[in-house]
């Protein structure tokens, strides 16, 4: 059978396989969405920590973050295809966002209640996650 394969048949086989691969790859690009959602969550927590005076509301922000993390974990476990190397590609962006969150909290002691500082800090914390999400969408 293979000895009869013409150039047109070879091109058709390549095109068919290429579209199957593209469809599965598209399904496996979920890490981008995960990083966008977690990035927004981290930004919201950063703003909440610096601007919310009520201890009850502050606790509610952390509880909401915990719920979001659990929902995303469950959502991730239900993904039906995985790209090669997703963890390795996204880990630096996650680590950088966490590190920036730590720096923002440590340096923001005197800026408590200052929206300029905390909104800027939230944006800074979110940016690495968004960059990672953007790059993962093109992986």
Where along the sequence are the contacts to another protein (CB under 8 A)? 1-3, 5-7, 10-11, 13-14, 16-18, 20-25, 27-28, 77-78, 80-86
Residue 17, burial from CB neighbour count under 10 angstroms (0-12, 13-18, 19+): exposed
- The answer for residues whose C-beta is within 8 angstroms of residue 81's C-beta and 6 or more apart is 24, 25, 27, 28
Q: How many CB atoms lie within 10 A of CB 29?
A: 16
* Shortest distance in whole angstroms from residue 34 CB to another protein: 16
Closer Cβ to another protein, 24 or 123, answer by number: 24
* Shortest distance in whole angstroms from residue 135 CB to another protein: 17
Closer Cβ to another protein, 1 or 56, answer by number: 1
Cβ atoms 15, 21 nearer than 8 A: no
- Which residue bears the tokens 């909290």? 105
Closer Cβ to another protein, 18 or 95, answer by number: 18
Closer Cβ to another protein, 22 or 107, answer by number: 22
């Amino acid at each position: 059978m293979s000895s009869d394969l013409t150039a047109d048949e070879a091109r058709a086989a390549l095109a068919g396989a290429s579209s199957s691969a593209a469809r599965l790859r598209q399904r496996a690009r979920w890490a981008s969405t995960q990083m966008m959602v977690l990035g927004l969550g981290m930004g919201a927590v950063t703003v909440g920590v610096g601007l919310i005076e009520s201890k009850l509301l502050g606790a509610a922000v952390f509880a909401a973050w915990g719920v979001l993390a659990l929902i995303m974990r469950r959502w991730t476990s239900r993904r039906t295809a995985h790209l090669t190397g997703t963890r390795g590609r996204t880990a630096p962006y996650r680590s950088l966002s966490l590190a920036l969150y730590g720096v923002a909290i440590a340096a923001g002691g005197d800026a408590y209640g200052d929206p300029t500082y905390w909104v800027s800090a939230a944006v800074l914390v979110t940016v690495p996650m968004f960059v990672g999400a953007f790059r993962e969408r093109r992986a």
